[in-house]
Structure 1
Amino acid sequence: MLQHKHSGLLLRTACTILFLASGCTPATDSPDRQDDTTGASSGALAISGVSFKTVLGNRYVGAQNNGGGAVLATATSAQAWEKFTLDDINGGSLESGDSVFIIAGTGQYFQAANGGGSSLNAASSNRLGWETFRIVKQNGSGVIANGDVVGLQTVTTGHWVSAENGGGGTVFAYGAALGPWEQLTISGLPSSQPPPQTGKRVVGYLPNWYGSYASWVGRVDFDKLTHVNLAFALGDANGHLELAPSSDLATFVNAAHARGVKVFPSLCGGGGDSRITPFYQPDKVDAFVDHIIDFVVSHNMDGIDVDVEAPDRMGAAYDTFIAKLIAKARPRGLPVTAAVSQWMQYGMSDTTLRSFDFITIMSYDNAGTWTGPGEHSSYAQAETALAFYKNKGVSPDKIVLGVPFYGYCWGNCGGGKSSAYVLYKDILAKYPNASSSDWLSVDGAQYSYNGLATMRAKTALAKQHGGIMIWELAGDLSTSSEQSLLRAINGSLQ
């Protein structure tokens, strides 16, 4: 809930099982090997020979003629028609909440016609919304193992795969809940699933209000980053994204790709919700998702970051928006991520939270210009935030810890201000020794920020999870300086 100025507005920032046929190839050659776990990514988990048996009637789910026809639940044993290849596009271990395609022996995908509400078939050649499911454990969260009871939920309408009467006939996608007809026992998984990959992300946000992105090419140290999120992409009157001129974006994206760094547009930003939330309402969401995909593909970007920070304007419409966005992005090899924070978490379902390829936690702004003096981003706050999201069932390797390259001032902040948002580099410009602490009380002012020691400690904590996120890259000194926070992060990750 960081506040900063952008065009006169105060913005708060930083702001299933897919069942596939066969092997995957990485969309890009990147230093990060764990986040882009889509159907087109080397991180995806492909498992062959998986079967589902109805709990109520003990009948195996089968693809008639091994694909090309209806899905049935009639077999009393698992033969060829009842075995499928799964590709967990979220990567790492197969976990509750992961998104999936299901593919039969003929290479045809399971499809819920109209996204759910009618019969299920195994006759599709597409990898889109109607073919995308979530796999959900009946009890608990985390890794799915042989013998677990699961349900398969359509991502577009939320219907559950249902074997009428618990088995013995045709399978539908019209269940309203994970009830007896929808409960399936999974088998055929490997006895030991692959562990999450260990490469750590370093995600840096770069706002568009500090000059052109082309001007940052020589200032951003791409060698110390895995991702750059360009902030913020907002909708015009018709829901088309606006971020920066195309030539400006092309210069930056090409430079990042040359150093193996991925570039995502970040949608919205705190306070920018009036330019985003109207477009993911039911009557506009499909066109808006198409606009987002078109923007990313046309600008040669690598994924989509969603930073909607308006929990009262999220809810079911947001959940549907994310499901539709993921359904169209992942088949194209585009990960979907989100900036999240505990204060806004009631705005999305836990299923949606777990569906992102990874999340970045905005663990800062515990104090600010809207409060009195206080620590705005302590180490203890980071520990609490990480625990909160692990308790939500998010795999640790998908949790990226956010850290601030800025601070707050209270008191004599200059320019007649009694409180202010201040970049780390500007604090050091006034007080050259400030990097050795997190708190200054000087010249009638008090400053809260993260110095080098805390940044190194938080990086060590982030190494136990999915990496570290920075709001904002413009706040740092050049990495040639020993006081650079990005340099400290890079050193602590080695």
Structure 2
Amino acid sequence: MIQRRQSERFFRAACAALFLTSACAPEATAPEAPDEATGTTPQAVIAGVSFKTVLGGRYVGAQNNGGGAVIATATAVQAWEKFTLDDINGGALESGDSVFITAGTGQYFQAANGGGSTLNAASANRQGWETFRIVKKSGSGAIANGDIVGLQTVTTGHWVSAENGGGGTVFAYGGALGDWEQLTISGLSGGTTPPPTGRKRVVGYLPNWYGSYASWVGKVDFDKLTHVNLAFALGDANGQLQLAPASDLATFVNAAHAKGVKVFPSLCGGGGDDKIAPFYQPARVDAFVDHIINYVVSNNMDGIDVDVEAPDRMGSVYDTFIAKLIAKARPRGLPVTAAVSQWMQHGMSDTTLRSFDFITVMSYDNTGTWTGAGEHSSYAQAQTALTFYSNKGVAKDKIVLGVPFYGYCWGNCGGSSSKYVLYKDILASYSNASTTDWLNVNGAQYSYNGLATMRSKATLAKQYGGIMIWELAGDVSSSSEQSLLRAIDSSIR
């Protein structure tokens, strides 16, 4: 996300800490109850849902309406075959959302040991073993009556499976969304899930070089975001992703999910291509894709962001990598997105560009430490970038405008002649900085986005697929009237 020449300096600063961490897979858990940091859990409760096996035409039922085994024997929907879904992500039920499933007695579906054995509806807990990801067989987005779906355990990645397509006990041991695992969902019209609000995406990047992700739980204003991309996940010598300790990720992901916010790992980052590009090669790409999927699933994340910024190391091998990644991710309900920019667009085919679930357009760094002073992220530049990608055939609702929570200094920049500087640090030095995009003070010149430009860009982004922020750590508290995130929120809703 940090682009071109200025990227390498920040990448080197982050890497020392980054490669000291390990990415062990945790037992993914969902929060039992909200705490002071996360607030009230806004789950969408959907009552009267039923599942019918596609192969055998039998309805899934909770024996005795709960308290025992889950079976697939009924040929009609009665009390035992009606369930309540609690959508942890909130809002409309969408492919990839994590859910709790309760029987009529109020007891939860549970895959003992996280999966690999029989399924029961006899649990009083809301933990990892009771959490399932609901995934459409085809496509993404909202789930409707009649859609074919699968239920996947978040802890081990097993699929709920009715042996022989129904007629007996239901297990949680399927290795893929195959014939025995396909279920037709119905009963959604009688639920209490609110209709889609039409809220535009607000995607915030959060790097791992400002401290643990757990420490950000009380600082990030999840109410003003729809997605958080954690930056940056890089491959080790074997292509296993490295981002942050598993327990650290779990704390952040659970807090985000409690607020209905999706969390993606962001792969690579500007300057990180040498840790990613070797795994595009034909002999290694399949294993690398599997590593990525396993990492996302084991850490209970919601999708994958690809932020490769090395066009001369992309080309056909990159196109193949993305095609394989999407082919593995989409059946699991995991969107694949990409950070893009005009200067590097020659590195991927237009077919690949249009294959992403959405793209985030890095409309900044027109100037920087590698140039003289000038506007680095103007409103006109944003208009040009959005038009460019629209003309590339990307649907407008899949184009997300990137904006900076940082700027550049030239001249008397505190010991250097030019530097990258966060918005909050500019504001700390010059209290009126939020009222303009340009400062010329004390022998220094600063280019950034103030409140008025940020509101204008948010209004522009509302005509497209939303807005993206590099980076959340650059802002002041959203309780401040000088907060850029607050300005975005007031203009994009």
What is the TM-score when the length of structure 1 is the normalising length?
0.65
Q: Please give the alpha-carbon distance, in whole angstroms, between the structure 1 residues aligned to 2:211 and 2:368.
A: 25
Match of 1:469 in 2: 468
Match of 2:276 in 1: 276
Structure 1's 465 and 33: CA in aligned 2 closer, same or farther, altered over 3 A?
farther
CA-to-aligned-CA distance 1:362-399 (integer Å, 9 cap, x gap):
00000000000010000000000000001011000001
The amino acid that maps onto 2:313 is R
Match of 1:216 in 2: 216
Q: Please give the alpha-carbon distance, in whole angstroms, between the structure 1 residues aligned to 2:410 and 2:85.
A: 48
Q: List aligned pairs for 1:241-260, cutoff 5 A.
A: 241-260=241-260
| Helix, strand or coil at the partner of 2:324 | helix
Q: List aligned pairs for 1:302-341, cutoff 5 A.
A: 302-341=302-341
Does the 8 A contact of 1:6 with 1:209 survive in 2?
no
Does the 8 A contact of 2:289 with 2:324 survive in 1?
yes
Does the 8 A contact of 1:10 with 1:271 survive in 2?
no
Kindly indicate whether residue 472 of structure 2 is the aligned counterpart of residue 447 of structure 1.
no
Q: Please give the alpha-carbon distance, in whole angstroms, between the structure 2 residues aligned to 1:365 and 1:358.
A: 21
Return the offset for 1:30: 3.8
Q: List aligned pairs for 1:123-138, cutoff 5 A.
A: none
The amino acid that maps onto 1:440 is L
Q: Once the two structures are aligned, what percentage of the paired residues are identical?
A: 76
Match of 1:393 in 2: 393
CA-to-aligned-CA distance 1:185-204 (integer Å, 9 cap, x gap):
xxxxxxxxxxx983200000
Match of 1:378 in 2: 378
Q: Please give the alpha-carbon distance, in whole angstroms, between the structure 2 residues aligned to 1:26 and 1:435.
A: 45
Return the offset for 1:91: 5.4
Q: Please give the alpha-carbon distance, in whole angstroms, between the structure 2 residues aligned to 1:32 and 1:352.
A: 30
- RMSD, aligned CA: 2.7
Return the offset for 1:89: 1.7
Return the offset for 1:29: 4.7
CA-to-aligned-CA distance 1:202-223 (integer Å, 9 cap, x gap):
0000000000001101100001
Match of 2:478 in 1: 479
Does the 8 A contact of 1:32 with 1:201 survive in 2?
no
Q: Please give the alpha-carbon distance, in whole angstroms, between the structure 2 residues aligned to 1:199 and 1:463.
A: 9
Return the offset for 1:26: 10
Q: Please give the alpha-carbon distance, in whole angstroms, between the structure 2 residues aligned to 1:127 and 1:455.
A: 44
Q: List aligned pairs for 1:342-353, cutoff 5 A.
A: 342-353=342-353
Return the offset for 1:280: 1.3
Match of 2:37 in 1: none
Q: Please give the alpha-carbon distance, in whole angstroms, between the structure 1 residues aligned to 2:314 and 2:248.
A: 32
Structure 1's 319 and 339: CA in aligned 2 closer, same or farther, altered over 3 A?
same
| Helix, strand or coil at the partner of 2:330 | helix
Q: Please give the alpha-carbon distance, in whole angstroms, between the structure 2 residues aligned to 1:319 and 1:27.
A: 37
Structure 1's 226 and 26: CA in aligned 2 closer, same or farther, altered over 3 A?
farther
Match of 2:292 in 1: 292
Structure 1's 448 and 10: CA in aligned 2 closer, same or farther, altered over 3 A?
farther
Q: Please give the alpha-carbon distance, in whole angstroms, between the structure 2 residues aligned to 1:320 and 1:205.
A: 26
Match of 1:238 in 2: 238
Match of 1:132 in 2: none
| Helix, strand or coil at the partner of 1:457 | helix
| Helix, strand or coil at the partner of 2:407 | strand
The amino acid that maps onto 1:261 is V
Q: Please give the alpha-carbon distance, in whole angstroms, between the structure 1 residues aligned to 2:252 and 2:438.
A: 35
Return the offset for 1:446: 0.3
Does the 8 A contact of 1:27 with 1:41 survive in 2?
no
Q: List aligned pairs for 1:117-196, cutoff 5 A.
A: none
CA-to-aligned-CA distance 1:21-44 (integer Å, 9 cap, x gap):
89xx9996546769x7x5x579xx
Structure 1's 7 and 323: CA in aligned 2 closer, same or farther, altered over 3 A?
closer
What runs of 5+ residues in structure 1 fail to find an aligned partner?
Answer: 12-20, 43-85, 93-100, 102-124, 129-195
The amino acid that maps onto 1:234 is L
Q: Please give the alpha-carbon distance, in whole angstroms, between the structure 2 residues aligned to 1:425 and 1:202.
A: 20
Q: Please give the alpha-carbon distance, in whole angstroms, between the structure 2 residues aligned to 1:310 and 1:397.
A: 26
Q: Please give the alpha-carbon distance, in whole angstroms, between the structure 2 residues aligned to 1:32 and 1:373.
A: 45
| Helix, strand or coil at the partner of 2:254 | helix
| Helix, strand or coil at the partner of 2:490 | helix
Q: List aligned pairs for 1:389-468, cutoff 5 A.
A: 389-414=389-414, 416-468=415-467
The amino acid that maps onto 1:474 is A
Structure 1's 197 and 335: CA in aligned 2 closer, same or farther, altered over 3 A?
farther
Q: 1:89 aligns with which of 126, 139, 144?
A: 139
Q: Please give the alpha-carbon distance, in whole angstroms, between the structure 1 residues aligned to 2:448 and 2:325.
A: 35
Match of 2:491 in 1: 492
Q: Please give the alpha-carbon distance, in whole angstroms, between the structure 2 residues aligned to 1:471 and 1:440.
A: 21
Return the offset for 1:298: 0.6
Q: List aligned pairs for 1:9-88, cutoff 5 A.
A: 29-30=88-89
Q: Please give the alpha-carbon distance, in whole angstroms, between the structure 2 residues aligned to 1:338 and 1:27.
A: 30
CA-to-aligned-CA distance 1:206-244 (integer Å, 9 cap, x gap):
000000001101100001000000000000000000000
What is the TM-score when the length of structure 2 is the normalising length?
0.65
Does the 8 A contact of 2:14 with 2:209 survive in 1?
no
Return the offset for 1:428: 0.3
Q: Please give the alpha-carbon distance, in whole angstroms, between the structure 2 residues aligned to 1:469 and 1:425.
A: 18
Q: Please give the alpha-carbon distance, in whole angstroms, between the structure 2 residues aligned to 1:394 and 1:429.
A: 39
Q: Please give the alpha-carbon distance, in whole angstroms, between the structure 2 residues aligned to 1:486 and 1:277.
A: 33
Structure 1's 253 and 91: CA in aligned 2 closer, same or farther, altered over 3 A?
closer
Does the 8 A contact of 2:433 with 2:439 survive in 1?
yes
| Helix, strand or coil at the partner of 1:8 | helix
Does the 8 A contact of 1:30 with 1:260 survive in 2?
yes
Q: List aligned pairs for 1:352-371, cutoff 5 A.
A: 352-371=352-371
Return the offset for 1:317: 0.4
Structure 1's 411 and 488: CA in aligned 2 closer, same or farther, altered over 3 A?
same
Q: Please give the alpha-carbon distance, in whole angstroms, between the structure 1 residues aligned to 2:293 and 2:258.
A: 23
Q: Please give the alpha-carbon distance, in whole angstroms, between the structure 1 residues aligned to 2:418 and 2:85.
A: 47
Return the offset for 1:9: 5.2
CA-to-aligned-CA distance 1:123-158 (integer Å, 9 cap, x gap):
xx9769xxxxxxxxxxxxxxxxxxxxxxxxxxxxxx
| Helix, strand or coil at the partner of 1:327 | helix
Q: Please give the alpha-carbon distance, in whole angstroms, between the structure 2 residues aligned to 1:254 and 1:338.
A: 24
Return the offset for 1:256: 0.5
Q: Please give the alpha-carbon distance, in whole angstroms, between the structure 1 residues aligned to 2:335 and 2:309.
A: 20
The amino acid that maps onto 2:139 is I
